Structure 1
Amino acid sequence: MSIPSFGVGTFRLTGQAVIDSVRNALELGYRAVDTAQIYGNEAEVGQAIAESGIKRSELFITTKIWTDHYASDKLVPSLRASLKKLRTDYVDLTLIHWPAPGNGVEPAEFMAALAEAKALGLTRQIGVSNFNIELTRQAIDVVGKGEIATNQIELSPYLQNHKLTAFLKEQGITVTSYMTLAYGKVLKDPVLAQIAGKHRVTVAQVALAWALQLGYAVIPSSTKRENLAGNLLARDLRLDAEDMARIALLERNGREVSPEGLAPAWD
């Protein structure tokens, strides 16, 4: 099994907004949907999926375990609750959302519980999110090499994370890029705008195509159907070596997300 290269994200979307976004995405041809317990929208995501009429076997659903549920006696029950909300017997991928160092539950405990969830058939694949190199190593030590399907991390032309992505590639772990548009900041970038003009595409398509060409999976979100459709076209855009080299120079360690108490010491 592998991670789909293109999916729709649902971060910060709730209520009717997330129902409409997922419904539009599925109608446009998306088949991977990313959610999380802390987003508070699993039930709405489940509703949109159920109402789509698309066969479960054609979909790839990801959710993430929140820090409150990392203990060995809480993780599996919390995932069962997520499955009920999502109206499915299993998810395709379950991630540990943040390493949350010092919250009282060590990686050995929550990774073992995550492996148990997989053994029980509640999730097809397991992975992590926002883990640095050292914590990813610790996770591998618990579940075994080849068991971690992805590390979902913040990545954009402004935060290229070369050290971590090289390590993940070395380990055969797929990189999933979130915040690929840096909260929309890259949309105003003059270099990306020039590249977009050259190819007659949008800046968002350029940023997403950049990530895809580096071998990363992407999960952009939008409440607008036209943006969801436009984002999908990034799969057909081929940036040339000059484009990629120019984007490489945009690196500025522009991290947007690093919550205290949840984030690790970044590489």
Structure 2
Amino acid sequence: MTQTYLTLNNSVTMPALGLGVYQSPPEQTTDAVIAALRAGYRHIDTAAAYFNEREVGEGITKSGVDRSEIFIETKLWISDYGYDQALHGFDKSARKLGVDQIDLLLIHQPLAVEFDKTVAAYQAMETLLADGRVRAIGVSNQTPAELDELISRTGVVPAVNQIQIHPYYSQREWRAANDRHGILTQSWSPIGGSYIYGDFTTNPLQDPVITAIAGKYAKTSAQVILRWHLDHGFSAIPKSVKPHRIAENFDVFDFALTADEITAIDALDTGVRGGPDPDSLTLDNYGFPIPD
């Protein structure tokens, strides 16, 4: 299988498909990373707030794959926003990951009610970029209005905006804002786990439109959904700790959807978010400390 690569707005290339480790227990994360790298993945997405960066680093070291071949992505948590705090947040993440340079560093949430701290954290990331300690910087869960404000107050347009996208919640307006600024859209919860494990009775993996397409290509529903992301030009970071599922999620480079199939999946959008509104996160309700 041949991995697809995407070129960011600063000319850095990134594997389109990565392993996500959100909610992966630390004791299972190292083996999941090893399984992914041995299956062909070369992109791992983690975050300070996942509390498994150290295990990601251990998996990379134990995999036998050279560090230069692996694209490592992590995120600063809101507790480390502010200029000096963000620099320290980077140091903590790099130390846990066991690397000197991080390929892509994101601010994890917009912290809408204290956006000055968000801007200051991003300005610290600009310094890290200029110093070569990160190769690209970006954001996550930023609304179109927040993107406009951030870009107006800083000097580097984000390379990536990681947002919730799957067939039942495709966020056309946010994607359009990303496109307008030349920002790559990266999908978290790409298979729809925010619905599957939430309070929703609907499940994209069981949707008749998707299962019919899966039958046509002799693929699983998850593989069809991941192919939909890739055919749209998104980056996707499916999460699993099961080696067979990790390998299955990577087996999506030998087929492509037709324009009609992409349109049919697009039409499944419900407009309903899984999980909290990112703008509802504040230091009071989500401001837990990130240990050194």
TM-score (norm 2): 0.86
1:84 aligns with 2:95: yes
- Asked whether the 8 Å contact 2:26–2:51 carries over to 1, the reply is no
Which residue in the other structure is 2:172 paired with? 162
Which residue in the other structure is 1:208 paired with? 226
- Asked whether the 8 Å contact 1:3–1:174 carries over to 2, the reply is no
The structure 2 residue matched to 1:5, chosen from 8, 13, 16, is: 16
The structure 1 residue matched to 2:119, chosen from 108, 112, 119, is: 108
Equivalent pairs: percent with the same residue? Answer: 35
The structure 2 residue matched to 1:234, chosen from 246, 252, 259, is: 252
Q: Work out the CA distance in 2 between the residues paired with 1:85 and 1:107.
A: 23
How far 1:118 sits from its partner (Å)?
Answer: 1.6
Q: What is the aligned length?
A: 262
Which residue in the other structure is 1:219 paired with? 237
Q: Deviations over 1:218-247 (max 9, x none)?
A: 000111111111111123221112211211
- Asked whether the 8 Å contact 1:65–1:96 carries over to 2, the reply is yes
1:122 aligns with 2:94: no
Which residue in the other structure is 1:68 paired with? 79
Segment drifting more, 135-144 vs 48-57: 135-144
Q: Work out the CA distance in 1 between the residues paired with 2:178 and 2:105.
A: 18
- Asked whether the 8 Å contact 2:111–2:118 carries over to 1, the reply is no
Secondary structure of the residue aligned to 1:148 is coil
Pair 144,236 (structure 1): closer, same or farther in 2 beyond 3 Å:
farther
Superposed, 1:241-252 pairs within 5 Å as 241-252=259-270
Q: Work out the CA distance in 2 between the residues paired with 1:148 and 1:175.
A: 11
Q: Work out the CA distance in 2 between the residues paired with 1:154 and 1:235.
A: 22
1:196 aligns with 2:204: no
Q: Work out the CA distance in 1 between the residues paired with 2:188 and 2:32.
A: 17
- Residue type of the partner of 2:280? G
- Asked whether the 8 Å contact 2:87–2:125 carries over to 1, the reply is yes
Which residue in the other structure is 1:261 paired with? 280
Structure 1, gaps ≥5 residues long:
none
- Residue type of the partner of 1:66? W
Segment drifting more, 13-22 vs 67-76: 13-22
Which residue in the other structure is 2:187 paired with? 177
Q: Work out the CA distance in 2 between the residues paired with 1:232 and 1:16.
A: 23
- Residue type of the partner of 1:43? R
How far 1:32 sits from its partner (Å)?
Answer: 0.4
- Asked whether the 8 Å contact 1:195–1:243 carries over to 2, the reply is yes
Q: Work out the CA distance in 2 between the residues paired with 1:193 and 1:136.
A: 36
Q: Work out the CA distance in 1 between the residues paired with 2:17 and 2:226.
A: 9
Q: Work out the CA distance in 2 between the residues paired with 1:171 and 1:130.
A: 15
- Asked whether the 8 Å contact 2:82–2:118 carries over to 1, the reply is no
- Residue type of the partner of 1:180? P
Superposition RMSD in Å: 1.6
